[in-house]
A and B are shown apart, each in its own frame.
Chain A
Amino acid sequence: MTFNRKILASSVAFAAATLMATGAQAEMSDDAVRIGYLADMSGTYRDLAGPGGLEALQMAIEDFGGEVNGTPIEVLSADDRNSADVGANTVREWFDTQNVDLVSGLVASSVAIAATKVVEENNGLAIVSGSAASSITNEHCAPTHIHWVYDTYPMANATAKAVVDQGGDSWFLLTADYAFGHAMEKDVTEVVEESGGTVVDSVRHPFPTTDFSSYILQAQGSGAKVVGLANAGGDTVNAIKTASQFGLTQSGQQLAGLIVFLNDIYAMGLEATQGLLLTTGWYWNMDDESREWAERYYERVGSMPGMVHAGIYSSTTHYLNTVEEIGSDDPEAVRAAMAEKPIDDFFSRNGRIREDGRMIHDMYLVQVNAPEDATHDWDLYEVLSTIPAEQAYRPLSESQCDLVNN
């Protein structure tokens, strides 16, 4: 009886509190700000975002204080197992049964595209941090998602342009034989030719491929100065390793990785990757601010963060700041307000959100250190130059996005 009375009393108190709260912040959708983190936690892209990304998300929330204007922040997380239907399903369920306010993470392109379609249907909000697909803010653009960290456009184009400018004017392209590789091959060929170089030959290898020796031999025979890798993930890793075994760089050819990540370089080791040119959205050792955050992350996770991890922290913080400022978690209002503010933090410099949903920020051309130049395990890159935000990404004038007036 006393027990029941207690419950009754507390529920009355709760109802009153809720009423008051509703009075105070008329626009909060319910009793919590819920962020759903969807990523590959166990498969191919685990190291790119995965559990580390969840940790970064939680760091952002803790640093923010765990609540927005008194409303607690809750995190849900799920493993998409790199499957578009598992991903889309999870997000749909989050909207239908959990009232999720923001979907974060989103790594494999198939999952990211599928999930953002569901978010669009439900008029929610998503921030894509892990995926490389530039189509997310091009033909698949929608007012309900933002693409934060990077995409293939700066990764491929900036690297190609920089390499040609440094004198690498004849290219051999090693292309993954599917839609993604073909698109990148086309982009890079354009950039190389615009910058005054030529693509002398290319070979399309099946996806995925483990043994690249045959293709590397063909690249060596081509006589091109630069061998560009228009592939990603495991294929890039395998190609780089094989190139190093066949002495590609020793014989005077330069390797250009178009989609390479910090965790790939770390896994391959500096011996195999030294001298590689690539573009990144952020590097943990690029300045004091970045180092400070990276070291905190390292304490918790045990490895250094890549740009996706940092981007998840940055995007979550920007989201929470915006919600606090406008006192609402209404997706449309938040999305609009997020775009009004510039984004300048340890991760993003000169950042802003364009109307197509692309968050543009400075990118960096880096070169992988030689083993003798590295002072410790994670001393992997040397930053060569900064690519200004406005030049790094696909210009809006070339956009196929419906949200852009062309």
Chain B
Amino acid sequence: MSATRTLTPAMKLRRKAKVRRNILYLVLLAIALVAPFVAYPVFLMKLLCFALFACAFNLLLGYAGLLSFGHAAFLATGGYFTGIMLASYPGLTPELGILIGTLASVVLGTLFGALAIRRQGIYFAMVTLALSQMMFFFFIQAPFTGGEDGLHGVPRGELFGIISLDNNINMYYFVLAVFLIGFAIIRRAVHSPYGQVLRAIRENEPRAVSLGYNVDAYKLVAFVLSAGLAGLAGSTKTVVFQLASLTDAHWHMSGEVILMTLLGGVGTLFGPLVGAGVVVSLQTQLAQSPLGNWVSVILGAIFVICVLSFRSGIVGEIQKVVKKNFK
């Protein structure tokens, strides 16, 4: 009772905002829970995998200010390692397979991160692109990936050895759980003191250095975290589709995840989710329409439009409107 009386107006506002946000989370969660009974579950799973991928990418671009042009390498590494483990060890449960794939991405992320953060800005983008192209060639040549044919027949298996994932609905809830865990990790990282420092580095790196922060270490941790979550997305995707292919390693994929993030809103928590939703739906719709041949032109045009006049992305623009009208 007495506590409420001491609240300042600003604190009240914040508390109100928090309640509103929790309601929003609950509504979204409810939608996600009923979604597979309304929409096509496989499509939803694809969407969630790409959303997690985009969220992981956004952690790096939106909160650390690092534009990676090579995130496809982590998606593919997670996918391939999970695929190989599950295909060659039939006793392995899917969650362990996914864990192994994610760890592989973490290792690769540490190596690439340590190299890439030696350069900044545009150079950083080029270094990550070149490194991921190197991985692309490695995946083509490596004997275990099936080269251009890809890796097929990965079993979905039984979660914890009991729940069969061959059922699409079971699979969906598992993917949703993976996504929520990934999302929670990102949210926690962003709102922690660590996330604050990351933003300080993004805004003004020399100042962060002069304040005594080990900037490189902060950047590296962000890079590894982002790579690991991208790998988690790739691993999960492999279990859903039961295959891993070179598409995930191609630099086009790195471009697509940038587009998802940019379109949804860089540096917003929900932006990448919305962006992934729009891009994945668009691709699915376009592939089966007469405009199918124009997919890459349309994606390119969206890129140009976003950069020219829509830089806050969908969620960013909505936030602006909300701030203007409801404050």
Residue contact A180 to B147, C-beta cutoff 8 Å: yes
Q: Which of A75-83, A153-161, A289-297 contacts B (4 or more CB under 8 A)?
A: A75-83
Tell yes or no: B292 within 8 A of A by CB: yes
Residue contact A117 to B242, C-beta cutoff 8 Å: yes
Residue contact B292 to A110, C-beta cutoff 8 Å: no
Residue contact A85 to B296, C-beta cutoff 8 Å: no
Tell yes or no: B277 within 8 A of A by CB: no
Residue contact B247 to A79, C-beta cutoff 8 Å: no
Tell yes or no: B224 within 8 A of A by CB: no
User: What is the interface of chain A, defined by CB distance below 8 A to chain B?
Assistant: 41-42, 51, 76-86, 88-90, 92-93, 96-97, 108-110, 113-114, 117, 133, 135, 140, 177-180, 206-207
User: What is the interface of chain B, defined by CB distance below 8 A to chain A?
Assistant: 40, 42-43, 46, 137, 140-141, 143, 146-150, 152-153, 237, 241-243, 245-248, 283-284, 287-288, 292-296
Residue contact A88 to B143, C-beta cutoff 8 Å: no
Contact among B141, B148, B241 with A85 in the assembled complex (CB-CB below 8 Å): B241
Residue contact B293 to A109, C-beta cutoff 8 Å: no
Residue contact A84 to B245, C-beta cutoff 8 Å: yes
Residue contact A41 to B292, C-beta cutoff 8 Å: yes
Chain B residue at minimum C-beta to C-beta distance from A136? B149
Residue contact A178 to B141, C-beta cutoff 8 Å: yes
B-side contacts of A178, CB under 8 Å: 140-141, 147-148
Residue contact A179 to B288, C-beta cutoff 8 Å: no
Given contacts A80-B287, A81-B295, A85-B241, 5 further A-B contacts (CB under 8 A): A42-B296, A79-B293, A110-B149, A180-B148, A206-B141
Q: In the complex, what distance in Å separates the CA atom of A92 from the CA atom of B246?
A: 20
Contact among B147, B242, B243 with A179 in the assembled complex (CB-CB below 8 Å): B147
B-side contacts of A133, CB under 8 Å: 149
B-side contacts of A51, CB under 8 Å: 293
Q: In the complex, what distance in Å separates the CA atom of A206 from the CA atom of B148?
A: 12
Residue contact B287 to A78, C-beta cutoff 8 Å: yes
Residue contact A179 to B245, C-beta cutoff 8 Å: no
A-side contacts of B293, CB under 8 Å: 41-42, 51, 79
- For the complex of A and B, the 9 pairs showing the least CB-CB separation, nearest first, are A178-B147, A179-B147, A84-B245, A83-B247, A79-B292, A110-B150, A42-B293, A109-B149, A78-B288
Q: In the complex, what distance in Å separates the CA atom of A4 from the CA atom of B123?
A: 67
B-side contacts of A117, CB under 8 Å: 152-153, 242-243
Using known A-B contacts A110-B150, A117-B152, determine if residue A78 contacts B292 with beta carbons closer than 8 Å.
yes
Contact among A42, A114, A140 with B245 in the assembled complex (CB-CB below 8 Å): A114
Q: In the complex, what distance in Å separates the CA atom of A90 from the CA atom of B288?
A: 9
B-side contacts of A41, CB under 8 Å: 292-293
Residue contact A108 to B288, C-beta cutoff 8 Å: no
A-side contacts of B248, CB under 8 Å: 85
Among B146, B149, B294, B295, the one with the most A-chain Cβ atoms within 10 Å of its Cβ is B149
Residue contact B295 to A42, C-beta cutoff 8 Å: yes
Residue contact B143 to A179, C-beta cutoff 8 Å: yes
Chain A residue at minimum C-beta to C-beta distance from B168? A96
Residue contact B243 to A114, C-beta cutoff 8 Å: yes
A-side contacts of B146, CB under 8 Å: 110, 179
Q: In the complex, what distance in Å separates the CA atom of A89 from the CA atom of B293?
A: 18
B201 to chain A, nearest CB (A): 36
Q: In the complex, what distance in Å separates the CA atom of A245 from the CA atom of B174?
A: 57
B-side contacts of A135, CB under 8 Å: 149
B241 to chain A, nearest CB (A): 5
Residue contact A179 to B149, C-beta cutoff 8 Å: yes
Residue contact B247 to A177, C-beta cutoff 8 Å: no
A184 to chain B, nearest CB (A): 12
B238 to chain A, nearest CB (A): 9
Residue contact B148 to A89, C-beta cutoff 8 Å: no
A-side contacts of B143, CB under 8 Å: 179
Residue contact B288 to A89, C-beta cutoff 8 Å: no
Residue contact A85 to B288, C-beta cutoff 8 Å: no
A-side contacts of B152, CB under 8 Å: 84, 113-114, 117, 140
B-side contacts of A97, CB under 8 Å: 40
A79 to chain B, nearest CB (A): 4
B47 to chain A, nearest CB (A): 11
Name 21 A/B residue pairs within 8 A (Cβ), A-sorted: A42-B293, A51-B293, A77-B292, A79-B292, A79-B293, A83-B245, A84-B150, A84-B245, A84-B247, A85-B245, A88-B243, A89-B241, A97-B40, A108-B148, A109-B148, A117-B153, A178-B140, A179-B147, A180-B148, A206-B141, A207-B147
B147 to chain A, nearest CB (A): 3
Residue contact A110 to B237, C-beta cutoff 8 Å: no
Chain A residue at minimum C-beta to C-beta distance from B297? A42
A-side contacts of B137, CB under 8 Å: 206
Residue contact B242 to A93, C-beta cutoff 8 Å: no
Q: In the complex, what distance in Å separates the CA atom of A93 from the CA atom of B39?
A: 11
Q: In the complex, what distance in Å separates the CA atom of A270 from the CA atom of B62?
A: 54
B-side contacts of A177, CB under 8 Å: 141
Q: In the complex, what distance in Å separates the CA atom of A180 from the CA atom of B143?
A: 10
